[in-house]
Amino acid sequence: MGKMKEKFIEEQERLIREAVEAFVDDDWQYQEYLKSLSERMGYGTVTQEEAQSNHDDWWNSLTNEQKQQLYLDQEEATKESNDEYLNHWLKNNNNASK
């Protein structure tokens, strides 16, 4: 491999490495920002276990009728969303074939 090609590959690898490191730093800084923001607003940090526990407590507090209604509402929302998607697709497909 020629010296120019080696130099080019080294430079590309360096740029990729720097981009990855910048992304990791940006993500870490963003997470730190969110953490400090939540603390300033009076919210504590919540672990995945705490979030799951809160959800379980909420779910267990519902009656069977409330759970059934949530299920029915979700089914209706899914059906409406699917119908809208299908209608949109059919409309666009018909327009494309003209």
DSSP labels, 4-53: HHHHHHHHHHHHHHHHHHHHHHHHHHHHHHHHHHHHHTTPPP--HHHHHH
- pLDDT tens for 38-69 read 888 877 777 889 889 999 999 999 999 999 99
Helix (H) or strand (E) holding 75: helix 64-97
In the prediction, which pLDDT does 32 show?
A: 84
- pLDDT tens for 6-34 read 888 998 898 888 888 777 777 788 888 88
The pTM (predicted TM-score) of the whole model is: 0.45
In the prediction, which pLDDT does 97 show?
A: 62
